[in-house]
Structure 1
Amino acid sequence: MARFVLTRRSQLPPARCWERLTDWPRHGERVPFTRVGVARGTGREVGDVVLARTAFGPLRFDDPMEVVEFVAPGPGRDGLCRLAKRGRPVRGGAVLRVRAVGGGCEAVWAEELLITGLPRFADPVVASVGRLVFGRVLDRLLRP
């Protein structure tokens, strides 16, 4: 399983950072060939489903992610969202966390990916690509 963790500091207040981090359609703006939206619910409650749909020529697949934990940040409380990947080609999960730091916040994005059909020795490449792609998403989401 490919694993990576991204950490970014931002001058945004935690609540504003959280809004951006959980604005699912904005994620698709920086992931090549991918649209992201909410397939069930609001995308902000346990049981909701966020869907990333990737299409590149004849290659097409869906990456449905179920929200299994969702706690918005508040006074003395970090924001936490756990997503379980429920699709066939992509399994694993993601954890998004926001915590107050000084006058801003720190955002952490941790992901575990298992791609059907790829051998385990490809995990470091998948993790490197994940860091690059999702790092760009995170940077864009946290821009002031």
Structure 2
Amino acid sequence: MAVEIVRETSAPVGRVWSVLTDWPRHGAHVPLTRLTVTGPPGVGQEIDAATRLGPFAFHDVMRVDEWEPPTDGSAGHVVLTKIGRVLSGSARIEVAPHGSGARVAWAELVRPRPDLLGRAVGPIADVAARVLFGRTVDGLLREAAE
């Protein structure tokens, strides 16, 4: 089951899109994590979210598989697929006009590999994902409104 985070903001759609898809910016809201990007924005771009605690580290590697920025009053979305060795899953982030601002819907499915382990810890992963991605969206939307 995917976790969905939905938020509304008075920030303009274009600004929200640019903040949410500025992947390195996410690191300010995800503890102990730094994001690096390979390639230009759009389909094929890869993001490596490296989380480090002392000598221990793991990488959540993702690839952008869909990229449709919002245009002239229509919604935009981006789909990321987790392609790393540690985590599987995907994320879909939609930014849509809402009144004079924007509505964000972020759906995330994250599971540890291998799949058998992922299914076993799915409910725990969902709780952690809801907290982590809720915090991330809230922080990024505060930035977009500044």
TM value normalised by structure 1: 0.92
Long gaps (5+) in structure 2: none
How far is the alpha carbon of 1:116 from its aligned partner? 1.8
Partner of 1:95: 92
1:16 shift after superposition = 0.5
The aligned counterpart of 1:110 is 107
C-alpha distance in 2 between matches for 1:119 and 1:101: 36
Distance of 1:72 and 1:37 partners within structure 2: 21
Task: Tell me which residue corresponds to 1:61.
Answer: 58
Partner of 2:76: 79
What residue is the counterpart of 1:133 in the other structure? Answer: 132
Q: Deviations over 1:62-104 (max 9, x none)?
A: 1111110111101142111000100011011100100001111
> 2-11 vs 115-124, which deviates more?
115-124
The match for 2:49 among 47, 52, 57 is 52
Q: Distance in 2 between matches of 1:10 and 1:72?
A: 17
> Percent identity over the alignment?
39
Partner of 1:109: helix, strand, or coil? strand
- Read off the aligned partner of 2:113 and give its amino acid letter: T
Higher helix share: 2
What corresponds to 1:21 in structure 2? Answer: 20
Q: Separation in 2 of the partners of 1:84 and 1:119? A: 16
> Does the 8 A contact of 2:5 with 2:107 survive in 1?
yes
Question: Within the alignment, does 1:41 sit opposite 2:39 as a pair?
Answer: yes
Question: What CA RMSD, in Å, does the superposition of the two structures yield over aligned residues?
Answer: 1.3
Number of aligned residue pairs: give it: 141
Amino acid at match of 1:99: A
User: Is there any run of 5+ residues in structure 1 with no aligned partner, and where?
Assistant: none
Tell me, in whole angstroms, the C-alpha distance in 1 between the residues paired with 2:136 and 2:17.
14
User: Match of 2:2?
Assistant: 3
Q: Structure 1 stretch 56-65 or stretch 111-120: which is displaced more?
A: 111-120
TM-score, normalised relative to structure 2:
0.91
